[in-house]
A and B are shown apart, each in its own frame.
Chain A
């Protein structure tokens, strides 16, 4: 039963998308047909995908944004997860709950909260503007920081919404580490930062990879955040798919971009399962 369901409602639609990416765009309804010069298979859409800079650029922006989001989540999430393993047990449960809590509040409203903060009239923007004007030379001074509708805003909000996805797997892998190893390294004369680099960091690699994937994959395909706080001149790939589909009504192109994005996701996922299989083998 569940098998059949997934085949009908997941595999079949996806197979249609792959077929669609090979179809030809027509001005009819539905706006495509199989055929043209080469019946059934028409790679013209993929040719356009590679040759038109718009798509390559969108892919690049998505990858850079997603990688930046992952990096900042890691830089902020790692010390947070490490700190969570050092606080007392009762405080830890409450703090963990606080990490998960935003995840249960509406995703859309968390994005919206930042729209309020970044807007020109908000106390947050005003405060940051003060700091900015105090830091930079007078000629750079601004009335308010143009935070909304920028690529910066997209990355900031993505870091905000995906941070729990990074903290939780990191915490899970850091919690399992044996503190006596740290103490042994300290006793043997390592400095605290050396202990961190040589002992803690390598052992938490599985957590880093799991958290990184959990952040990178949804960030690369993100649609809501770039449409709300992003800027139209730096489109991310999710927005391109949605625009091609509903505005340009170019279904084959939307499908081709979707297939390419998925191909991009398969790489890191394979890497992850490979790594996991090796870790299982080592045990």
Chain B
């Protein structure tokens, strides 16, 4: 008997228009023949050609992917360990400081993280001669540091929801602590670990500010390349690049949606089976 919420629905449509009109406009103008990025001059795919012919773009993408894979993997390992430590060992020396350290990077503005990382690397270089050059290593180190806390937060939330009694039961049945970790804890939190890795990966792939502070000559990641081009104004090949990236993200999201739906359906079927065999 509820009235149709016309007001709410119209704001919802306006909100989605607000979110998507800029993106769609960008996609539309990527097929523009004109040099002016926002004046229509006929259909063309020449900017895609220009994009693929540009070797810089390929190199930058490759560097970005390398950094993202390495940093998100290390960040996931460290972040998971930190999350387990924080939930399962409620008392250890320096726990207060540790939990503070885990939340601090979450609220730290990126500029500050970036500047402090750069000062740190510069001072290290002048004191012990390492890192002699900023680039892949320094960017990766900085990315690991600020993305691991996201992994920790996700893992921590999942662990707090899970039932600790299962682990205690395994202990009582004679499992060693590392066996419990491998056989029970890790499988239980594996979805959280996976989504933590994905988050760390996207954060690293997308980061501009921290990367721009920790990069050195010759190490241009894709966001840095876009940043330097965009600073000069609107260019049509960036539209083409954006369209391709949106396409990739869209496909990725669609695939993960299908996979998740399947997993959900399988879980439901399993549950039904379990109930039936009990009855």
**Contact surface of A with B, Cβ cutoff 8 Å:** 1-3, 5-7, 9-14, 16-17, 20, 30, 76-77, 79-80, 82-84, 86-87, 95, 97-99, 101-102, 104-117, 119, 121-124, 160, 163, 167, 217-218, 220-224, 227-228, 238, 241-242, 245, 251, 254-255, 258, 261-262, 265, 269
Contacts and interface: CB of A to CB of B under 8 A. Distances in A.
Interface stretch (B98-106, B165-173, B177-185, B271-279): B98-106
Nearest to A239: B111
A262 B108 contact: yes
A1 B78 contact: yes
Contact of B111 (A77, A98, A113, A238): A238
Contacts of B115: 17, 241-242, 245, 254-255, 258
A9 B15 contact: no
B8 A13 contact: no
Interface string B55-88: 0000000000000000000000011011001000
Interface in B93-121: 94, 98, 101-102, 104-105, 107-112, 115-120
A214 to B, nearest CB: 10
Interface stretch (B42-50, B129-137, B187-195, B238-246): B238-246
B5 A83 contact: yes
Contacts of A13: 116-117, 119-120
B11 A79 contact: yes
B33 interface: no
A238 B257 CA distance: 37
Contacts of A242: 111, 115
A265 B107 contact: yes
Nearest to B145: A9
Contacts of B123: 16, 30
B8 A265 contact: no
Contacts of B12: 79-80, 83-84, 87, 95
A10 B23 contact: no
Interface string B8-51: 11011011101111110110010000001111000000000000
SS of A interface (majority) = helix
Residues of B in contact with A, size category: 35 or more
- Select the residue from B15, B39, B101, B145 with max chain A CB neighbours within 10 A: B15
9 contacts: A6-B102, A16-B123, A30-B126, A76-B14, A80-B15, A105-B242, A116-B37, A167-B15, A269-B107
A113 B19 CA distance: 11
A178 to B, nearest CB: 15
A14 to B, nearest CB: 5
Contact of B238 (A112, A119, A261): A112
A222 B209 CA distance: 9
A279 B141 CA distance: 37
A6 B82 CA distance: 10
B216 interface: no
Given A2-B82, A5-B78, A101 B249 contact: yes
B81 A1 contact: yes
B223 interface: yes
A223 B249 CA distance: 25
Given A16-B120, A241-B111, A109 B231 contact: no
A102 B101 contact: no
Contacts of B78: 1-2, 5
